[in-house]
Amino acid sequence: MKYIDEFRDGELAQKLSHEIEALAEPGRQVKIMEVCGGHTHAIYKHGVEQLVPDEVDFVHGPGCPVCVIPMGRVDDAIALAERPEVTFTTFGDMMRVPGGRGSLLEAKARGADVRMVYSPLDALELARRNPDREIVFFAIGFETTAPATALTLLRARAEGVRNFSAFCNHVTIGPPLRAILDSPGLRLDAFIAPGHVSTVIGTRPYDFIVEEYGKPVVVTAFEPLDILQAVVMLLRQLRDGRCEVENQYT
C-alpha cells in the first residue's frame, strides 16, 4: 500500500511521543476512548500504549460490530441457517461468535448450509446461481458496512432476484456513544472517533459529544502516527480549554 511506511515512520513516532509527554500534565490522568475496534487493534499491534506517558490511558470503545452483537441475534441467525430451504451467508468473523446455542460454525458442523462471504454481493451471486435456494445474508456492522448491504438489496430488486434477503443487524455509532456518556461515574476526557465510519457519516454526528457533554473529539485514521497525532490534538484541546470536533483523518 502506498504511504504505509510514512505513516509508520519510527522517527516521527518518537517526535510525536515527545510532544505528548510535553503536553501531559504530571499527576493529571487523561482517559481517551478510541471508539473503533480498528484503533484498538492498531494500538496493540504497534505498541502505541508504550509511546505515551503513564498520564494517558486508552479506554477501548464499543466499535466492533462482531463483539457488540447480542447473543439472541446469533441464535436467530442459527435458527434461519437451520431451515432446510436456506443457504445462510455471513462474514467470516461471525462464524465463531457464540450465541446461547453455540455458533454458526457449530450449526454448519451439524449440517446447516452456512457459507462465508467477503461481500453481500457474493451472497447475491449465490442467489443468482441457486434460484431454488433461499439465500440469507447476515447483515452486521456499523456505517461502513451498511452501504454494502443497501447496494446489494438495490441490485437484487433491480434484477428481480426473489430468493435473496438480508437479516439486518446494522447499528449506528451515535446511540452507543450517548449511552456511554450517560453512564453514571463515567471517567472519560476525550474521544478518538472512527475514520472510516466518518467517511460515510461525516463529522456532524459527533457534535453532541462536544456540545452536550463537553468532551473533545478527533476523527482519526488507523496508522500508529495517526493515533499519536490524534492524542496530541486532544491534549492540546484539553490544555487550551477548547472542546471541538477536529479531523485528523488524511
Q: Residue 78: which of 117, 104, 39, 109 has the closest Cα?
A: 104
**147 Cβ neighbours under 8 A, 6+ residues apart:** 200
* Minimum distance from residue 178 beta carbon to another protein (Å): 19
Q: Please identify, using beta-carbon distances, which residue of 30 and 94 lies nearer to another protein.
A: 94
- Cβ nearer to another protein, comparing 194 with 224: 194
Which residues make up the interface to another protein (CB under 8 A)? Answer: 1-2, 36-38, 40-41, 63-67, 91-94, 118-122, 140-145, 147-148, 151-152, 154-155, 194, 196-197, 199-200, 222
Q: Alpha-carbon distance 202 to 215, whole Å?
A: 18
Phi, psi angles (nearest 5°) of residue 132: -90, 0
- Least distance between another protein and beta carbon 7 (Å): 12
Nearer to another protein, 86 or 140 (CB): 140
Minimum distance from residue 64 beta carbon to another protein (Å): 6
Residues near 48 by beta carbon (within 8 Å), at least 6 away in sequence: 42, 58, 224, 227, 228
Closest to another protein by CB, 35 vs 228, is 35
Cβ within 8 Å of residue 157, ≥6 positions away: none
Q: What is the C-alpha to C-alpha distance for residues 114 and 211, in angstroms, rounded to an integer?
A: 45
Residue 116 in grid coordinates: 462465508
Q: Quote the CA–CA distance of 17 and 123 in Å, as a whole number.
A: 45
Nearer to another protein, 63 or 216 (CB): 63
Q: How far is the CB of 90 from another protein (least distance, A)?
A: 9
What is the β-pairing status of strands 164-170 and 134-141?
A: parallel
DSSP lists the bridge partners of residue 164 as 135
The minimum distance between CB 71 and another protein, in angstroms, equals: 17
Cβ–Cβ under 8 Å, residues 220 and 32: no
Q: What span, in angstroms and rounded, lies between the C-alpha atoms of 87 and 11?
A: 51
8 Å CB contact between 134 and 163: yes
- Report, in Å, the least distance between residue 59 CB and another protein: 16
31 or 196: CB nearest another protein: 196
141 or 216: whose CB is closer to another protein? 141
For the bound state, the minimum distance from the C-beta of residue 1 to another protein, rounded and expressed in Å, comes to 6
